[in-house]
Amino acid sequence: MKHRFYFLLWPALFSVVLLLTSALSVSAQQIKDLAGHFNSKPITIMVGFSPGGGYDTFARMVARFSGKYLPGNPRFIVQNIPGGGGLRGLRATMKAEPDGLTIGLLNPRFVQQALAGIKVPDFNLKTVGVLGSPSADKRVRMWCVRRSIATSWDEVVKLGRPLTKGGVARGSSAGLGAEFVEALEGPIKVVYGYGGTSEIMAGFDRGETESTDRCTEEYIPRLFPGWIKSRVVAPIFWWDKEPTADWLGQLGYQGKLPYLMEVFKANEDQKNAFDVASHLLSFSRIFVTPPGLPKNVYETWRNAFEQTTKDPDFLKTAEVAGLEVGLGTAEDFRASIKKYDTLNPGGRKLYRKLVGVQ
């Protein structure tokens, strides 16, 4: 009886084996087809900025290392199409054939504009194929005050007036925390018009402004190391990524620096608006494909992109170039977009103000 049971079971087992073999054959054939497809001509990466900058450098690094993670190990061409703050390159990418042989880069400002209801030519946030960002890592952000004026949030509040802070233009991730406080009528006044970080810090050093958000280890040792020895700045709060105890100690701060939302009381809608703006502003250099890409080609590209950003040689090259790598996945990106959709009208209005697209 037992032998008869095994005999009866064999046809079913044989069918399963045939199905598995068939599935494996299809998978192998798909890979072979994709290898031939990706090898049919060089893959072009459209860059909407001039050569030499961060967008261009990351594009060339992806071109150099991602081939080994795509079927057929294809060749690459980087094509620079500067203009419109990256818009010309983006439009060329969106108009390209959706075959996986053309990808490009998306500046987050166009995401912000699309969310705010501003039409971006040839760009649709719902249909663009997002591969991810190689530079979406959180960075230390702090707001500091001239030590002779105040050394804590309570002392700032007791002054009964806003403290000035330099900025380039609204919508910078480096200034987001201070701009959030200002937008909700807190004790900070942002003075725009500075040309960049060095000018902002020089203005503070000259006494033009009373506070600064360029008080992190990324800036002070390189540009104004004297601030450390003279204990010029007093850290008040942080956002995005918490500073280390060692850096705070160098600035003369003892203890645990409070997070922005621990000192400035905001409601949940306002906090959510800040979180969305913070995440999307840090999600820079977004690699994208044209809309309509076949699912198997898109998934192959997405997996290859993520593997590339973890490649040891890619990471080493980025370090030599002075670029920080932090993978922001397509899922991370879509999660932020969905969170924006949950904001009420007040939260959306605050978001638009924070990113400078009122």
Confidence of residue 17 (pLDDT cuts 50, 70, 90): very low
Of the listed ranges 25-29, 143-147, 204-208, the one predicted with least confidence: 25-29
Average pLDDT, the chain: 88
Q: Is the pLDDT of residue 339 over 80?
A: yes
Q: Is the pLDDT of residue 27 over 60?
A: no
Q: Is the pLDDT of residue 21 over 80?
A: no
Q: Say what the pLDDT of residue 1 is.
A: 45
Identify the bridge partners of residue 189 per DSSP, sorted by sequence position.
164
Which homologous superfamily does the CATH classification assign to the domain defined by 39-135+283-349? Bordetella uptake gene, domain 1 (3.40.190.150)
Q: Say what the pLDDT of residue 31 is.
A: 55
CA dihedral 279, 280, 283, 285 (to 10 degrees): -170
Q: Is the pLDDT of residue 26 over 70?
A: no
Q: Is the pLDDT of residue 106 over 80?
A: yes
Q: Say what the pLDDT of residue 24 is.
A: 38
Q: Say what the pLDDT of residue 23 is.
A: 37
Using one digit for the tens of pLDDT, what is the confidence trace for 181-237?
Answer: 999 999 999 999 888 888 999 999 999 999 999 999 988 998 999 999 999 999 999
Closest CA to 340 of 20, 113, 186: 113
356 residue type, one letter:
G
Closest CA to 132 of 355, 335, 331, 358: 331
Name residues whose C-beta falls within 8 Å of residue 184's C-beta, 6 or more positions apart in sequence. 264, 266, 270, 350
Closest CA to 303 of 284, 335, 280, 330: 330
Tell me whether domains 39-135+283-349 and 140-278 share a fold: yes
At residue 101, what are phi and psi to the nearest 5 degrees? Answer: -100, 0
CB 142 within 8 A of CB 238: yes
The DSSP code sequence of 244-262 is PHHHHHHTT--SPPPBHHH
What's the whole-model pTM score?
Answer: 0.74
Sheet holding 140-146: strands in order across? 188-192, 163-167, 211-212, 140-146, 233-240
Q: Is the pLDDT of residue 50 over 80?
A: yes
Q: Report domain 140-278's class.
A: alpha beta
Averaged pLDDT, 119-140: 92
Distance of CA 163 to the CA centre of its chain: 29
Rounded CA separation 261/270 (Å): 10
Percent of the chain with pLDDT over 90: 66
Sheet holding 129-133: strands in order across? 76-80, 43-47, 102-106, 286-289, 129-133, 328-329
Rounded CA separation 48/67 (Å): 22
Rounded CA separation 134/328 (Å): 6
At residue 211, what are phi and psi to the nearest 5 degrees? Answer: -145, 170
Averaged pLDDT, 47-57: 89
Per domain, the residue ranges of the chain are: 39-135+283-349, 140-278
